[in-house]
Structure 1
Amino acid sequence: MAYKQVVVLAALVGAVLASPAPLPALGYGHPQPVNTNPAYNFNYAVRDNFGNDFGHQESRDGYNTRGSYYAQLPDGRLQKVDYTVQGDSGFVAQVGYQGQAQYPTYHPAPSYHSPPTYG
């Protein structure tokens, strides 16, 4: 019986020694690599038959960001915002409008209906 125990113990020791060494854990005390020059670019736009017309585009290189977005307003104008962020300067925006505001005349429908008659 002792011979079987020695064989099993030797097999376990061999399996442990044959396993690959674990990679060092990146945690406390091991700083994560930081991308000091982030860069990206994105855009999207929506325009459909229901009057939705809006979009956004933005690009960034390092700490300098530039972009714009626009939206169709209920009064018919298109509002466009161009913006920049350069380092710690903050968000700097320029707002503009295209088109003329339209306010159609409101014609309310009568809300009173005569009571039903039975009989």
Structure 2
Amino acid sequence: MYSKVTLMCLVAVALGRPDKPVPTGYGYAPPTPAYTPPQPSYSAPQPTYEKHEKGMPFDFEYAVKDHYKGVDFDHNANSDGKVVNGQYRVVLPDGRTQIVTYTADHHNGYQAEVTYEGEAQYPEPKPYKPAPSYSAPAPSYSAPAPTYEQPKPLYVAPQH
């Protein structure tokens, strides 16, 4: 019995060898692929930055100033159709005002000059104070007084 089991194990190991070729079965061999990838057929893109349409002249300006929130900025620009000139200002969180004056055209690109007005302020932070806790308000009303009378009987008492 022991020899039969050993013989079966040896046969199983021999059949399951990794160096044995994969059976094709019924004489079938998988076909070799005949596909060849196509060669790239593209050309370099043509630059489009040299051709530009003439711009339209414009002139605009806006400003926002909110003292409650501390918001203060404005922007203005004008163009003759070829060159745009403008300026914008914004108040920074440190108290300074940043001013950007710019010129933009298709030949020189965007040229900006940045300046600052004022001195940066960094105040000491105040210590945190939690909001006061409130108790429930005392009622400002009294209980309503009854507006009804004692009910009267609707029946007549029986006589003895």
TM-score interval w.r.t. the shorter chain? 0.5 to 0.7
Bigger CA radius of gyration: 2
Distance in 1 (alpha carbons) for counterparts of 2:89 and 2:119: 16
| Structure 1 residue ranges (4+ consecutive) displaced by more than 2 angstroms after TM superposition | 107-111
Q: Residue 75 in 1 paired to residue 94 in 2?
A: yes
Letter of the structure 1 residue corresponding to residue 74 of structure 2: G
Report how many residues are paired.
77
- SS of 1:94's partner is strand
Q: Residue 43 in 1 paired to residue 61 in 2?
A: yes
Q: Which one has the bigger helix percentage? A: 1
- Which of residues 72, 75, 80 in structure 2 aligns to 1:61? 80
Letter of the structure 2 residue corresponding to residue 99 of structure 1: G
Give per-residue Cα distances to partners, 1:43-75, cap 9 Å, x unaligned.
Answer: 000112221110100001122010000101010
Pairing of 1:1-119 with structure 2 (within 5 A): 36=54, 38-50=56-68, 51-109=70-128
Distance in 1 (alpha carbons) for counterparts of 2:91 and 2:81: 32
Residue in structure 1 matched with residue 147 of structure 2 by the alignment: none
Letter of the structure 2 residue corresponding to residue 44 of structure 1: Y
Letter of the structure 2 residue corresponding to residue 72 of structure 1: V
Q: Which runs of 5+ in 2 are unaligned?
A: 1-52, 131-160
- SS of 2:94's partner is coil
Q: CA RMSD in A?
A: 1.8
Letter of the structure 2 residue corresponding to residue 107 of structure 1: K
Cα 1:37–1:102 shift into 2, 3 Å: closer
Identity of aligned residues (%): 42
Q: Which runs of 5+ in 1 are unaligned?
A: 1-34, 112-119
What TM-score results when the alignment is normalised by the length of structure 2? 0.44
Distance in 1 (alpha carbons) for counterparts of 2:84 and 2:93: 29
Letter of the structure 2 residue corresponding to residue 84 of structure 1: T
Query: Greater RCO between the two (CA within 8 Å, min separation 6)?
Result: 1
